[in-house]
Amino acid sequence: MLVYNKLAVDPKSFAVTYDGRPVRLHPKEYLLLRLFLKYPNHVLSYDVIIDSLWDDDNIPTHGGVRAHIKGLRKALREANATEIIIETVHGLGYRLNPLNNNNKMMTGTISPPVSVLKDFIKAKSIEYLIVDTELIIKGMSPGILNYSDYPKMTKIESPLQEGFPEFIGLEDALSKVIKKESKSFELHGIAKAANPDRPEYINFNVIADESQSGDSLKERLLFIFFEDASETMIYRQQLVQRENEYYLLLTKPEDI
């Protein structure tokens, strides 16, 4: 049984009730509600919702997702739900409206603190992932799938390495950041698989969540920031090529 305040969902019988009253939902509305209840502490972007609930042959537009959200909200209101249960997080997606701290199901959404983001705000095309000590994805920005070679493997509660194989072999470096043995970790100019819809090169920076006061290692999180470095890398390659050409011209033997 999944419970959120007065709302209850029974996955076995597919029954949904609010304060004991039945809530009548269409199949996709039911799946949406169950998805929000399954990940109560996360903001779910359009891409995450679509990837979780639709197959490749029937992908909806963002407007289609909004229509299902609207239908879900309407059904909850018709069951006399007075509070806002599904909350819009502008620019990111949707989430369950956090309850007070007395309800252990909801503790608020995970999002990068301002102290972490301010160092990156001037950069272009910044996206982020949030992972735990086991390198399991706990949160993501809306455009992060554009940086993954395997977008369908990049999901909440999935291993980081499945969607981003470039992190395979870097576990020790990430662990040092989590343990605060290193302040940060970064790599620049990483070549990606050829795809016209994604960056050719990326930079990434890994930083621990300094906003968490708990000493427990298991509670710590990492923020991984991704930046499109394609223009910079291509420009550098062109400079190197020109330098080589000039060098060849300068060292060319004089004609006899």
Q: Which pTM does this prediction carry?
A: 0.48
Residue 54: what residue type?
W
Per-residue confidence (pLDDT) for residue 134, from 0 to 100: 92
Per-residue confidence (pLDDT) for residue 104, from 0 to 100: 38
Q: Considering only CA atoms, which of 206, 186, 195 is closest in space to residue 146? A: 195
Write down the domain spans for the chain.
Answer: 2-96, 114-237
What architecture is the 2-96 domain classified under in CATH?
A: Orthogonal Bundle (1.10)
Per-residue confidence (pLDDT) for residue 101, from 0 to 100: 40
Per-residue confidence (pLDDT) for residue 216, from 0 to 100: 62
Q: Which residues of the chain fall below pLDDT 70?
A: 41, 99-125, 193-199, 210-218, 232-256
Residue 197: what residue type?
D
In degrees, rounded to 5, the angle at the alpha carbon of residue 38 between the alpha carbons of residues 34 and 39 is 125
Instruction: For the chain, report the end-to-end CA distance as a whole number of angstroms.
Output: 90
Show the 3-state SS of the chain: CEEECCEEEECCCCEEEECCEECCCCHHHHHHHHHHHHCCCCCECHHHHHHHHCCHHHCCCHHHHHHHHHHHHHHHHHCCCCCCCEEEECCCEEEECCCCCCCCCCCCCCCCCHHHHCCCCCCCCEEEEEECCCCEEEEECCCHHHHCCCHHHCCCCCEHHHHCHHHCCCHHHHHHHHCCCCCEEEEEEEECCCCCCCCCEEEEEEEECCCCCCCCHHHCCEEEEEEECHHHHHHHHHHHHHHHHHHHHHCCCCCC
Per-residue confidence (pLDDT) for residue 246, from 0 to 100: 64
Is the CATH code 3.40.720.10 the one for domain 114-237? Answer: no
Residue 90: what residue type?
H
Per-residue confidence (pLDDT) for residue 251, from 0 to 100: 65
